[in-house]
């Protein structure tokens, strides 16, 4: 892994690159373009950028309307506002009519840090996952974010992508990206660790720590929460006999439940979820907040070891 880059920064750069190749791409923001990094697109293509102001529901409705004209809208703001405040518009104006709108929301999870629990959205994956027909993606690093942006532009239908404020390690760019297909980053025999977003790099580091204790952990990057790669999940659960999910999201309704839905009644295996345990976030430096909720590599390794 090389330098650290925030997935929101990679998103901003990818939009500019995509905009040069596809003139149907338009970008909308709700007065947070300097934080979501859509300001890059605004500078490059001012005629294709729309600032809705602090009116997230309006932004979502504008995106819906633009999609009916054959355009490909990418709508961005903080996850708390785009998935939370505008939920009814996302559900009824985009998902219900199956409009081709891409909801790419930044500043998700407790790694938002100092903004505190009011802004640290730990429910967005659950909210979006439950909407019929909504595709849900959580890229693990900058390279995957770029690939996801281009894949979403080619994908027909409503989709939600979760992005983070905190810079995270960038993996070597040799992994394929296909919506609905997980990537096995490390093979193992004792436990299958399914992770998404920032927790992928933490899980890989945790696996190295576990190896020192003689525990062989497979690490699978589940970048698409819905539709989840049921074949991959089933295969590795059967191989290892023990499953752990790791997410910077509530343990209710997110990756853990998506994996459990695949396995329940089909594969006999141990199962343990690591995430936010029915709590709100709190203000603090991002690394310290992650540690408070047990989401650092040493803590993940200890939790996995205790669950075996």
Whether 203 and 140 share a structural domain: no
Whether 157 and 208 share a structural domain: no
Asked if the structure places residue 176 within a domain, the reply is no
Are 49 and 26 in contact by the 8 Å Cβ rule? The answer is yes
Whether 269 and 143 share a structural domain: no
Catalytic residue among 56, 123, 202, 247: 56
> Within the chain, how many helices (H) and strands (E) appear?
13, 14
The model's confidence at residue 195, banded by pLDDT at 50, 70 and 90, is: very high
Closest CA to 210 of 189, 228, 237: 189
- Give the sheet arrangement for strand 217-221, strand by strand: 183-186, 217-221, 191-195, 242-250, 270-276
Asked if the structure places residue 31 within a domain, the reply is yes
Token digits of residue 86: 């505008």
Q: Which residues pair with 272 in a beta bridge?
A: 244
Whether 229 and 96 share a structural domain: no
Relative orientation angle of helices 199-212 and 297-307, to the nearest 10 degrees? 60
* CATH (domain of 299): 3.40.50.920
Domain termination site, one of 169, 202, 228: 169
Whether 165 and 18 share a structural domain: yes
Average pLDDT for 4-25:
97
The model's confidence at residue 3, banded by pLDDT at 50, 70 and 90, is: confident
Are 206 and 302 in contact by the 8 Å Cβ rule? The answer is no
Relative orientation angle of helices 230-240 and 255-263, to the nearest 10 degrees? 70
pLDDT at 174: 82
Average pLDDT for 272-295:
97
Asked if the structure places residue 223 within a domain, the reply is yes
* Integer Cα distance of 56 and 130 in angstroms: 20
Domain termination site, one of 105, 136, 169: 169
Whether 12 and 138 share a structural domain: yes
Please report which helix (H) or strand (E) contains residue 102, including its range: strand 102-105
Asked if the structure places residue 175 within a domain, the reply is no
The yes-or-no answer on residue 123 being catalytic is no
Asked if the structure places residue 233 within a domain, the reply is yes
pLDDT at 173: 77
Average pLDDT for 9-18:
98
**Is the pLDDT reported for residue 77 higher than 90?**
yes
**Is the pLDDT reported for residue 267 higher than 70?**
yes
Q: From start to end of 152-286, where are the E strands?
A: 159-162, 167-169, 183-186, 191-195, 217-221, 224-226, 242-250, 270-276
| pLDDT (tens digit per residue) in 84-121 | 999 999 999 999 999 999 999 999 999 999 999 999 99
**Is the pLDDT reported for residue 306 higher than 80?**
yes
Asked if the structure places residue 130 within a domain, the reply is yes
Are 4 and 167 in contact by the 8 Å Cβ rule? The answer is yes
State the residue range of the domain holding 24.
Answer: 4-169
**Is the pLDDT reported for residue 1 higher than 80?**
no
Whether 11 and 154 share a structural domain: yes
Exposure string of 174-199, with b = 16+ CB inside 10 Å and e = fewer, is ebebebbebbebbebebbbbbbbbbb
Whether 155 and 259 share a structural domain: no
Q: How many folded domains does the chain comprise?
A: 2
Are 215 and 155 in contact by the 8 Å Cβ rule? The answer is no
Whether 131 and 210 share a structural domain: no
Enumerate residues 6+ apart whose C-beta is below 8 A from 216. 188, 189, 190, 191, 210
* CATH (domain of 8): 3.40.50.970
Average pLDDT for 251-261:
98
Asked if the structure places residue 245 within a domain, the reply is yes
């Amino acid at each position: 892994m090389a330098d650290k880059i925030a997935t929101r920064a990679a998103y901003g750069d990818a939009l500019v690159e995509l905009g040069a190749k596809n003139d149907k791409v338009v970008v909308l923001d709700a007065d947070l373009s300097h934080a979501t990094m859509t300001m890059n697109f605004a500078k490059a293509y001012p005629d294709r950028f729309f600032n809705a102001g602090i009116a997230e529901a309006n932004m979502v409705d504008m995106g819906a309307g633009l999609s009916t004209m054959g355009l490909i809208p990418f709508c961005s703001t903080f996850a708390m506002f785009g998935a939370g405040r505008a939920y009814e518009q996302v559900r009824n104006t985009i998902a219900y009519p199956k409009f081709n709108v891409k909801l790419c929301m930044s500043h998700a999870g407790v790694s938002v840090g100092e903004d505190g629990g009011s802004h640290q959205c730990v429910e967005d994956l659950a909210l979006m996952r439950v909407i019929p027909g909504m595709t849900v993606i959580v890229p693990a690093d900058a390279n995957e974010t770029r690939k996801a942006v281009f894949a979403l532009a080619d994908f027909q239908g409503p989709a939600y992508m979760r992005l983070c404020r905190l810079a995270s390690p960038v993996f070597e760019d040799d992994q394929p990206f296909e919506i609905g297909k997980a990537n096995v980053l490390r093979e193992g025999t004792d436990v299958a660790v399914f992770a998404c977003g920032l927790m992928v790099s933490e899980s890989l580091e945790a696996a190295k720590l576990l190896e020192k204790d003689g525990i062989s952990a497979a690490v699978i990057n589940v970048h698409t929460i819905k539709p989840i790669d049921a074949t991959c999940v089933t295969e590795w659960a059967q191989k290892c006999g023990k499953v752990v999910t790791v997410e910077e999201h509530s343990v209710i309704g997110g990756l853990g439940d998506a994996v459990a839905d695949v396995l329940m009644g089909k594969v006999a295996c141990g199962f343990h979820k690591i995430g936010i345990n029915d709590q709100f976030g709190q203000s603090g430096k991002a690394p310290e907040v992650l540690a408070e909720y047990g989401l650092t590599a040493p803590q993940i390794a200890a939790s996995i070891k205790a669950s075996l």
